[in-house]
Amino acid sequence: MESGYATTPFGRRPMTLALVQANTAAREIPEGSLVEKWQVYRWLCEGKSIVGVGDRALAVLSGLLTFYPDDQISEENGLMVFPSNAQLSLRAHGMADSTLRRNLAELVNCGLIIRRDSPNGKRFARKGQGGALVEAFGFSLAPLLIRAAEFQQAADQVRADNRALKLMRERITLHRRDIHKLVEAAIEEAVPGDWGAIWRRFRAIVDAIPRRAELSELEGIVTELALLHDEVDSMLESFTNSTNPSANESQSERQQSDSNTHFTFVFEPAFEKSRAAVEPVSVPTEKPKGYPIGLVLKACPEIADYAVNGIGNWRDLMITAAQVRGYLGVSPSAYEEACHVMGQEVAAIVIACILQRAQHINSAGGYLRVLTEKARAGEFSVGPMLMAALKANGATARMTG
């Protein structure tokens, strides 16, 4: 049973304004609120770095939850648990008494439980007639009920960050492998260029990668590697074009022929010269009004994993795509140009499709630039790209015009 006023700690433990605030919040729980106790615990385990709680404190919290008789925490079921330290130690895998006290204090300081001490500091419950609980002294689990949504958001954020970190590491691995092999091939084939300087730049970037890097650190490294990768590709392409001037024409013809067959889409097209330099064409004004947001998410479900609050409309998709482009190694200028030429909605769809096939695309930034040039020349439509993504996922959908 919760009292209507804040209780101060027993003994030498000080009272703080944070404890007063926690007590006040515990008296303002919306009627009918409830949450599954082990679900909240799992969210805390996942989002512990954001919440600021340690592993040992979570082990103690797990022990406290075992004393709560119901699976769902609610005011109706009561919010108090009152085990002795000896009982709690047994359920916290035999934790030493001093360690137990320290971690209980950490749970209180993190705002995960509220201490309600009796006059003598003991934990117990007083029952009235009929066995009804009249008063209890121990630990209140009210914060777990009040802050459940906050803990869920923390867990979602950590999962999104981990996915982004994994994608960043994959991009770094691909860039390292490709640049290494391309430079070796260039040296072996005696391609003109200062390959020694490029190799030293490459090694300087790679050697600077921290063993335990944060997401923000890896973003900068991916950008540097992507720029170097583009430079190496450009040098090799120039050399190839100079030795075989008819290659571009035949390559363009093959690509144009392939792009109209059963809506198949080549996710790594060869670089080709735009006809816009010869024949000016108006920039396309395609808007994805005929493509429902549900169709895009069905074709490219992975982008939803990077949206903490989900994707429910075009604005959510565009915001998430702007974030994901950094994970893919697409420079801000390349994405800004794509948005200007294709439109923000179409550019967001393209980023979603690139993310869906990220493992099969060597340079997402170079690939987006090629599509932007095609769109500028009026040679690109996002429809076949979506259809190819749907086909690759084994999904079937029908566009509504």
DSSP assignment string, 153-214: HHHHHHHHHHHHHHHHHHHHHHHHHHHHHHHHHHHHTT-SS-HHHHHHHHHHHHHT--TT--
Q: What band does 25 get if pLDDT is binned at 50, 70 and 90? A: low
pLDDT digits (tens, 9 = 90+) for 54-98: 999 999 999 999 999 889 888 887 888 888 888 888 888 888 989
pTM to 2 decimal places: 0.55
Position with higher pLDDT, 240 vs 279: 240
pLDDT at residue number 391: 82
Q: What band does 15 get if pLDDT is binned at 50, 70 and 90? A: low
Position with higher pLDDT, 77 vs 375: 375
**DSSP character for 119?**
T
Q: Where are the domains of the chain?
A: 17-146, 157-245, 251-401
Helix residue ranges, H only, 259-381? 293-299, 314-327, 332-342, 344-356, 364-376
Position with higher pLDDT, 24 vs 201: 201
> What number is the average pLDDT over the span 136-164?
89
> What number is the average pLDDT over the span 264-277?
34
Which of these CATH numbers, 3.30.70, 1.10.1130, 1.10.10, 1.25.40, describes 17-146? 1.10.10
pLDDT at residue number 40: 93
Contacts of 281 (CB under 8 A, 6+ apart): 275, 376, 377, 378
Position with higher pLDDT, 401 vs 246: 246
Q: What band does 287 get if pLDDT is binned at 50, 70 and 90? A: very low
pLDDT digits (tens, 9 = 90+) for 311-361: 988 888 998 998 888 888 888 888 999 999 999 999 999 999 999 888 888
pLDDT > 90? residue 258? no
pLDDT at residue number 28: 65
> What number is the average pLDDT over the span 142-158?
91
Amino acid at site 303: I
pLDDT at residue number 330: 87
Alpha carbon of residue 328 to chain centroid: 13
pLDDT at residue number 386: 84
Q: Tokens standing for 310?
A: 């989900």
> What number is the average pLDDT over the span 368-377?
91
d(CA 149, CA 78): 20
Amino acid at site 374: K
Helix pair angle (344-356, 364-376), 10° resolution: 140
> What number is the average pLDDT over the span 120-129?
66
Residue found under tokens 């004393």: 67
